[in-house]
Amino acid sequence: MLPGKTKVLLTREQIRKKVKHLAADIARDYEGKKPLLICVLKGAVVFLSDLMRNLSISVEIDFMAVSSYGSSTASSGVVRILKDLEASIEQKDVIIIEDIVDTGLTLSYLRENLLSRNPGSLKIASLLDKPERRVADVEPDYCGFRIPDEFVVGYGLDYDEKYRNLPDLCILLEFGK
Ligand code: 5GP
């Protein structure tokens, strides 16, 4: 049983349509190229798997896991790499695949870290954007939905490792244990 109450913010159907559009935009922009999609674990894994299956161009994938020090619902901006990429990204066309940009501190760290590895190009695709809470100067190049300042779960996003399996994106109304 899931502990807290949730309210649907974006249905699976709304997300499905948006992901299809994002994939079409990316395929158009990267025609004739083979971008490397870097999925930021674990929250972006559902987005990555839906996005890549909608892409009409060849892609490679790799994974990174980062943790930001601080509580589970607030970002501190101090980022630690828990799992690094398998291969060099030098001269590759890289797209960071994120679940959500909130303060932007995690993404800003990741972007600088990846830029120091000399990719051919670097862009950011995020399913969700909470612009109200932005602290760092970072914007996704491809963005699915702008959402209000609420804590959301489902479609890969968790609270305390729960709710990732919900097919819709939901607002978490109670932070139960
Ligand atoms: P930022 O560094 O941009 O503040 O935070 C980015 C990370 O915080 C996201 O990748 C995600 O893991 C987490 N995060 C931010 N907002 C939410 C939210 O509403 N729900 C969940 N589940 N995670 C969030």
Q: What is the CATH number of the domain that holds 59?
A: 3.40.50.2020
Asked whether residue 5 is domain-assigned, the answer is: no
What are 3's strand-pairing partners?
A: none
d(CA 59, CA 175): 38
Domain of residue 80 covers: 13-150
Residue from 100, 133, 158, 162 whose mutation best tests the ligand 1 pocket (most atoms within 8 A of CB): 100
Residue whose structure tokens are 């948006």? 18
- Asked whether residue 177 is domain-assigned, the answer is no
Among 99, 102, 137, 160, which one carries the catalytic annotation?
102
**pTM of the entire structure?**
0.94
Tens of pLDDT along the chain (177 residues) come to 566 799 999 999 999 999 999 999 999 999 999 999 999 999 999 999 999 999 999 999 999 999 876 555 556 667 899 999 999 999 999 999 999 999 999 999 999 999 999 999 999 999 999 999 999 999 999 999 999 999 999 999 999 999 999 999 999 998 865
**164 located within any domain:** no
Q: Assess whether the C-beta atom of 153 lies below 6 angstroms from ligand 1.
A: yes
Q: Which atom of ligand 1 is nearest to the CA of 133?
A: 4
- Strands lying side by side in the sheet with 142-146: 79-83, 60-68, 36-41, 93-101, 121-129, 142-146
Task: Flag whether 155 is in a domain.
Answer: no
* Phi and psi angles of residue 43, each rounded to the nearest 5 degrees, phi first: -60, -30
- When divided into structural domains, the chain yields a total of 1
